[in-house]
Amino acid sequence: MNQITTEKEVNEGPFEAEVEMAYPTIKQGWGVIGLFILVAIGYGIPMGVLLVMEVDIYGDLLSLLNYIVPIVVLILITRIWWRKNPQNKGVLTLNTFPIVILPVVVIMTLAFLLVNIEITSWVPMPDWLLEIFKDAVKPNIWGFLTVAVAAPILEEVLMRGIVLDGLLRNYSPWKAIVWSAVLFGALHLNPWQFVVGLLMGSALGYLYWKTKSLYLCIFIHFVNNSIGFYLMMSYPDMSNLSDLYELGTMSRVFIFLLAVFVIWQSYRFFEAYFNKQTSKSNLL
């Protein structure tokens, strides 16, 4: 995969100019997903051999390493291409974020969780896929470290710190955000998590664009995955909110619409806040 790409772009005059693109472009973003599949297959082959030899590859520490190793390899490879491209910054964007937005961020994250629970209940995961998740994620500290610590840090470094940051240098903000969300959904390699990844990826992408803070994205991802881990461990057979509470169809519809409304109001709050901050900066 080429780390330096050029693209034809029409200038104000009648001539076309070659414009050097940052890494990754949209096509290279799909290349990242393809590379992840290859890395996962490469890692899965020896793990499969160990499984045939009746070695417990889902043991405590191994369950964590099974997640960490492929994605760390992917990050290291993409970072090499990233650093070789002069259009990219040499370091990850680790800015702080305004603490005043934190309460709204938490409320928005909880609303997204409710929306995602409801949406995934419309077409439940097949039993065989649920069994794979149960084998891979243990109901102990190792499972928590995998889902709530390693995943937020590593996935945000890859998908916001590398992929989205590069896309924002090449395209309009919303085009970059939407495509990064699509790629984030695709990274999960199954259609059930794709929709959840698409929705959360859009919110994470928007807030990364506005704050340039990986810390904020990691925090949101941590809150979402921590609650998801708790629900998965405490209610393994849960498919929707009615499995937690005695809710009828109308109650579920109301909660879903309320959560969507909260997300919309959160977006309006962020727009007003960041526009105000931009106006203040312009006055200085």
Residue spans of the domains in the chain: they are 5-283
Token output for 112 = 């997204």
Q: What is the pLDDT of residue 3?
A: 55
CA distance 196 to 206: 16
Give the per-residue pLDDT at 265.
98
Q: Residue 263: what pLDDT? A: 98
Q: DSSP states of 102-114 as a string?
A: HHHHHHHHHHHHH
User: Rounded to an integer, what is the distance from CA 278 to the centroid of its chain?
Assistant: 27
Res 10: pLDDT: 36
Q: Where are the alpha helices (DSSP H) in the chain?
A: 26-52, 60-84, 102-122, 127-136, 141-144, 151-156, 165-170, 173-187, 191-211, 214-234, 249-283
pLDDT computed for residue 52 by the predictor = 81
**Do 4 and 19 meet the contact criterion of CB atoms below 8 Å apart?**
no
For CA atoms 113, 115, 117, 123, the dihedral sign is negative
- Flag residues of the chain having pLDDT under 70: 1-19, 90, 238-244, 283-284
pLDDT of residue 125: 78
Query: For residue 204, what pLDDT is reported?
Result: 98
Q: What is the pLDDT of residue 172?
A: 97
Question: Which residue's entry shows tokens 């693109």?
Answer: 21
The pLDDT of residue 63 is 84
pTM for the full model?
0.88
